[in-house]
Amino acid sequence: MDRAFEPIVRPVVPALDALLGEPIPVLDDGFVRVIDYMGDDAAIVQAARVSYGKGTKRVHEDRALIRYLVRHDHTTPFEMCEIKLHVRVPMDIWRQWIRHRTASVNEYSTRYSEAIDAARRTAPGAWRTQSAVNRQGSAGRLPDEVGARLSAEERELQERARAVYEGRLASGVAREQARKDLPLATYTEAYWKIDLHNLLHFLELRMEAHAQQEIRAYATAIGEQIVAKWVPLAWEAFLDYRRRATRLSRAEAAVIAAVAAGDAAAATRLAEEEGWLPRTGQGALKSNLERAELEEKLVALGLTAPWM
Ligand SMILES: Cc1cc2nc3c(=O)[nH]c(=O)nc-3n(C[C@H](O)[C@H](O)[C@H](O)COP(=O)(O)OP(=O)(O)OC[C@H]3O[C@@H](n4cnc5c(N)ncnc54)[C@H](O)[C@@H]3O)c2cc1C
């Protein structure tokens, strides 16, 4: 072949190499460790440019291209980067995590080996109350004296469950059957490999305020302590255009434009047309999720809904 190819040097990210194998603690006994990775910011740029035969350019041009790709959902270049993590997670949180089907996973087998002797414990001040507005969420804390009782009960239950489990094993029960009454708080471990496109999707969903606090802790550790070091340009673009961006529907944009223009009557009329507010004189204000989300967006923009 008479074509000359450019020399290839394996991409390395010194900041991530320094982290390899180091457990980043999460919750009381969990962790996330980087086992391996492939690619870096330059690999994203290289993949995007290959279509028109151009190589990596100067850093500020790479940054502009990565930001363009994120802004316009050109996702495949981000699939050129992959990362393999070793994670230790309570089973109830793992159950949410494993719903992300785009990763390759190998989990510790409690059929093959004895279950990990660690279950997540809750500190007396960390018992959360049920949210009144979000049926899937929590809000506020129970008083410490109630928490102290709940934490003591938790310890007793977990220790009893573990003792029963170990008693079954000692009696010769198969590990696959003995494990069935272990609490969901029991830690499991897994190798989890995913490409950057799907990882950012995971982080967007699981760093978000509606995600459960515990999985948010893992997602935040992965995002802020790993991805930010691995692909700083992609991470910055992700924060700017996805994580910290506000998505507006057609109707939301129309109401916000009216509020920003000081036209309270038009904003109210538009909200009424969407069914977010009762028509003037037709009944009391009822709770409405879409309206509540719009109100949050208005507040974030420094505006107030006229009906608030
Ligand atoms: C706050 C929150 C609350 C949740 N509550 C619940 C709940 O109450 N009950 C519940 O069951 N789940 C719940 N989930 C899980 C949620 O519905 C998703 O299953 C989970 O977040 C994985 O998202 P995903 O499918 O986009 O991700 P992945 O599985 O990582 O997939 C990434 C993307 O790949 C594509 N994809 C992957 N597989 C397929 C496929 N087979 N067909 C088509 N496209 C595919 C889709 O575009 C998808 O968005 C909740 C998630 C969050 C974040």
Q: How many domains would you assign to the chain? A: 3
Global model pTM greater than 0.85: yes
Angle among Cα 170, 172, 177 to the nearest 5 degrees reads 105
Count how many residues are written for the chain: 308
Is 296 inside a domain boundary? yes
Q: Are residues 150 and 51 in the same domain?
A: no
pLDDT at 56 over 60: no
Q: Whose CA is nearest to atom 19 of ligand 1?
A: 99
Is 3 inside a domain boundary? no
CA separation for the pair 91, 106 (Å, rounded): 14
Q: Are residues 194 and 101 in the same domain?
A: yes
Question: Does ligand 1 lie within 6 Å of residue 102's CB atom?
Answer: yes
For the beta carbon of residue 2, count every other beta carbon within 10 angstroms: 3
Is 4 inside a domain boundary? no
Question: Does ligand 1 lie within 6 Å of residue 101's CB atom?
Answer: yes
Which pLDDT score, from 0 to 100, does residue 86 have? 98
Q: Is residue 284 very low, low, confident or very high in pLDDT (cuts 50, 70, 90)?
A: confident
Is 195 inside a domain boundary? yes
Q: Is 206 a catalytic residue?
A: yes
Q: Whose CA is nearest to atom 35 of ligand 1?
A: 102
Q: For residue 150, what are the domain limits?
A: 124-181
Question: Does ligand 1 lie within 6 Å of residue 95's CB atom?
Answer: no
Q: Contact at 8 Å (CB) between 78 and 221? A: no
Which pLDDT score, from 0 to 100, does residue 51 have? 59
Which pLDDT score, from 0 to 100, does residue 4 have? 84
pLDDT at 131 over 80: yes
- Give the number of C-alpha atoms closer than 13 A to the C-alpha of residue 65, restricted to the C-beta side: 21
Q: Are residues 137 and 194 in the same domain?
A: no
Among the atoms of ligand 1, which is closest to the Cα of residue 211?
A: 1
CA separation for the pair 275, 291 (Å, rounded): 9
Q: Are residues 95 and 25 in the same domain?
A: yes
Q: Is residue 54 very low, low, confident or very high in pLDDT (cuts 50, 70, 90)?
A: low
pLDDT at 165 over 80: yes
Is 254 inside a domain boundary? yes
Of 223, 243, 263, which residue sits at a domain end? 243
Q: Which of 23-32, 89-98, 130-139 has the lowest mean pLDDT?
A: 130-139
Out of 168, 206, 242, 279, pick the active-site residue. Answer: 206
CA separation for the pair 116, 96 (Å, rounded): 19
